[in-house]
Amino acid sequence: MTSATSSFTLPSWAGRLPLALITLVLAVPVLTAGLSGLLAGGGETWRHILATELWSTTLTTLGMLALTGGLILAIAIPAAWLVTMYSFPGRAVFEWLLILPLAAPGYVLAIAYYDLLNISGPVQNALRDATGWGARDYWFPDITSLPGLCFVLAVALYPYVYLTARSAFTTTSICAIDAARTLGARPFSVLWRVALPGARPAIVAGLTLALMEAAADYGAAGFLNVRTLTVGLFRAWSSYGDAAAAARMALILLAIALTLQWVEKLQRGGAGVQATSKRWQSLDRPALSPLKGWLAAGFCALVFALGFGVPIIRLLWIAVETGDHGRNFTGALTTSLLLASAGAAVAFIVGITIALTARRRGWLSWMAKVAASGGYAVPGAVLALGGIVALNTLGLNLAGGLALVVLIWIYAARFTAAGAQPMEAALARAPRSMGDAARALGAAPAIRVWKIDLPVALSGALVAALILFVEILKELPATLMLRPANWDTLAVRAFAYASDERLAAAALPCLLITGAGLLPVILLSWRLSKARPGS
């Protein structure tokens, strides 16, 4: 019997035209920026970059991705497994607290941790006061280093994997778990041999998103002075004024993104979760022993403190103690919310179209996914540059309402992959029997899309929509380049103050960015806390 995943078809007029338009819209910024670099010739700047820093920044980026990915998995998977499968003190609170770092951009955490841990910060001052040591009498971890950047990015991005892993564990086959427990499998064996194989597609999808976000990060890496590819290409554009050199470096990031996508596809292997009807039975959470319960609570508390509690409390302290509260950020907050809402709506529509049509496995679907993945990997500054070049080619000027349209276009090109991935993961877990039954009853392809595939995809829609909103809210480089006059966002304000080393002034807009992202993240957490198998 043919599976539902292979029976998905659309009429040519309904499937090919939207995909062709989506591919064009998503690919133009990347292709324009890339072609402008390839066709402009080498140039003195590119020869200098090639001779002095290209390979070192590439190796730094690859090392950063490897270390960050390992830290994310070590944080997210145990946390998701504990809050989903066991009862321990504070579990109901931790299951939503652990999502809160999703609201804070990496550069906000970098600013907070730098203020805490640098040589003149409160931690080292307290250490010297307690021991009587001088500044050169002891070793202290340097936050402005590659391991420091990896730590900041891991605690900022682990919710991507935590969310997808927790969702997958929630829908894990109860039958398989009960069988493993009946046969005497230890808890770690149940996780390793039963839960993880079924959850692997969702976990790899979340990790891919997190690593693409890490590869494209500029704010945290630039602030901590770690020369990744993104920092190098941004400086090639801003310092040397050489857009072609910046676009050439962006091609390496595009290759990294495509490699991550290929690895994800290879690991997924077309697998989905197939289970008996017992899959929809509620899972009873066994209570951990007092010692193990408090250890689990301590682990979850540490993860939350590192990813949200400690840095946000530090920023609050700075804002209260030294911040200039006379500044009015209401306009910047309103602008941020409007742009994030509009960009998320467009990216969501594009993302769900890609998720539904990706199951056709045609060349046009593949091109749309590649275009979305490429946009997510390329830094916002490069996409913005591609949009400007495309606009100039048409003889148009970046001003007024057109600037807003271009900015929302770049948002969609940058973040569509973040919205498509959770919906694709939901489709991958759909039972084959649903599509088989609809086809056996004679349902037309369009009916199967509307009645089966769309509702299944929408089971991941809340995660997709909120990820899009929060990510656009935090976006900086493209907004900085494309925004119309008097359309400063909170990210632009925070960037301006931090660039002038006015960390106290930057604290309040950083907190407002985080606060604006908290409501959708809390709603997401509440929805997931109510989710049970079958709901």
Q: What is the CATH number of the domain that holds 331?
A: 1.10.3720.10
Cα 252 to Cα 98, 111, 228, distances in angstroms: 33, 28, 11
For the ranges 63-72, 75-84, 152-161, 276-285, the lowest mean pLDDT is seen at 276-285
**What's the pLDDT score for residue 6?**
41
Instruction: Decide if 3 is inside a domain.
Output: no
Angle at 15 between CA 14 and CA 21, to 5 degrees: 100
* Cα torsion through 68, 69, 75, 81, rounded to 10: 170
Phi, psi for 335 (deg, rounded to 5): -60, -45
Instruction: Decide if 506 is inside a domain.
Output: yes
Angle at 156 between CA 154 and CA 160, to 5 degrees: 85
Q: Residue type at 246? A: A
Region label for 285, one of left (φ > 0), alpha (ψ between -120 and 50) or beta (otherwise): beta
CA 58 centroid distance within chain: 21
Read off the pLDDT of each residue in 270-284 and give the average, rounded to a whole number. 50
Read off the pLDDT of each residue in 52-67 and give the average, rounded to a whole number. 91
Handedness of CA 22, 26, 32, 34 (dihedral sign): negative
% the chain with pLDDT above 90: 13
Residue with tokens 């106290």: 504
CA gap 185, 329 in Å, rounded: 56
| Crossing angle of the two packed helices 400-428 and 380-393, in degrees rounded to 10 | 130
**What's the pLDDT score for residue 385?**
78
Instruction: Decide if 11 is inside a domain.
Output: no
Alpha helices in 323-444 (DSSP H): 330-357, 363-377, 380-393, 400-428, 432-440
pLDDT tens digits along 347-366: 888 877 777 776 655 677 77
Termini Cα distance of the chain: 28
Bridge partners, residue 287, by sequence: 87
pLDDT tens digits along 138-180: 888 899 999 999 999 999 999 989 988 887 777 665 556 655 5
Cα 249 to Cα 316, 367, 377, 402, 463, distances in angstroms: 37, 22, 12, 28, 32
Read off the pLDDT of each residue in 234-263 and give the average, rounded to a whole number. 76
Two structure tokens written together for 176: 């398989």
Under the banding of pLDDT at 50, 70 and 90, the label for residue 307 is very high
Under the banding of pLDDT at 50, 70 and 90, the label for residue 279 is very low
Domain extent, residue 281, equals 27-122+136-530
The pTM for the full model equals 0.79
Instruction: Decide if 17 is inside a domain.
Output: no
Instruction: Decide if 34 is inside a domain.
Output: yes
Residues near 390 by Cβ (< 8 Å), separated by ≥ 6? 28, 29, 32
Alpha helices in 42-102 (DSSP H): 43-52, 54-85, 91-97
pLDDT tens digits along 13-51: 555 677 778 888 888 888 887 777 677 666 777 788 888
CA gap 117, 399 in Å, rounded: 42
Is the separation of the CB atoms in 303 and 98 below 8 Å? yes
Instruction: Decide if 1 is inside a domain.
Output: no
CA gap 500, 360 in Å, rounded: 51
Residue with tokens 């920023």: 315
pLDDT at 84 over 70: yes
Instruction: Decide if 7 is inside a domain.
Output: no
Q: Which of 499, 505, 510, 511 shows the shortest CA–CA distance to 322?
A: 505
Under the banding of pLDDT at 50, 70 and 90, the label for residue 306 is very high
CA gap 50, 200 in Å, rounded: 38
Residue 350's CB is within 10 A of a number of other CB atoms, namely 25
Is the separation of the CB atoms in 24 and 32 below 8 Å? no
Q: Which of 435, 417, 329 shows the shortest CA–CA distance to 5?
A: 435
Cα 517 to Cα 102, 528, 535, distances in angstroms: 8, 17, 26
**What's the pLDDT score for residue 107?**
87
Q: If residue 250 lies in a helix (H) or strand (E), which one and from where to where? A: helix 243-268
Alpha helices in 217-309 (DSSP H): 219-223, 229-238, 243-268, 290-304
Question: Which pairs from 35-40 meet CB under 8 Å and 24+ separation?
Answer: 36/243, 36/244, 36/247, 36/385, 36/386, 36/389, 37/243, 37/244, 37/245, 37/246, 37/247, 37/248, 37/250, 37/251, 38/244, 38/247, 38/248, 40/244
- Number of structural domains (the chain) is 1
Handedness of CA 512, 513, 514, 515 (dihedral sign): positive
Instruction: Decide if 9 is inside a domain.
Output: no
Two structure tokens written together for 60: 């730094």
Residue with tokens 């900015």: 407
